[in-house]
Amino acid sequence: MLNMDFEQRIVINTHHQDWIASPKTGVWRKPLAREEAEQGHATSIVRFEAGATFSEHDHPLGEEIFVLEGVFSDHTGDYGAGSYIRNPQGSIHAPFSQQGCVLFVKLHQFQSDDSQHIRAC
């Protein structure tokens, strides 16, 4: 577990964190909060190198993505810096980035009855 005590204030300077390889080549992350290694509640900064792809997958209890830099893409479109994507539980996608991107990502944090999709660019 990492930073899962929500009663405590945590300040993280991500410029002082190393990038950690994800299970997919060319996709890196800086974990900010994490329940378990590859599942459960997670908040991270994620970087896709140019041309990186991730296999099709779902996110139990949803996913939120805020594009910080570059262009993030999936089957629903291309999303530039400042875009917000909200995928509720049951959503499936295969994300990629042709030019590379940096994202703020929150996983597994929705209520079970929350099914609203949002794409704000």
Q: What domains lie within the chain, and their CATH numbers?
A: 14-120 (2.60.120.10)
Residue 89 has pLDDT above 90, yes or no: no
By CB atoms closer than 10 A (0-12, 13-18, 19+), residue 87 is buried
* pLDDT confidence of residue 21: 94
> Residue 38, by phi and psi: left (phi above 0), alpha (psi -120 to 50) or beta?
alpha
pLDDT bin (cut points 50, 70, 90) of residue 109 is: confident
Which residues, including other chains, have CB under 8 Å from residue 111's CB and lie 6 or more apart? Answer: none
pTM above 0.95, yes or no: no
* pLDDT confidence of residue 73: 97
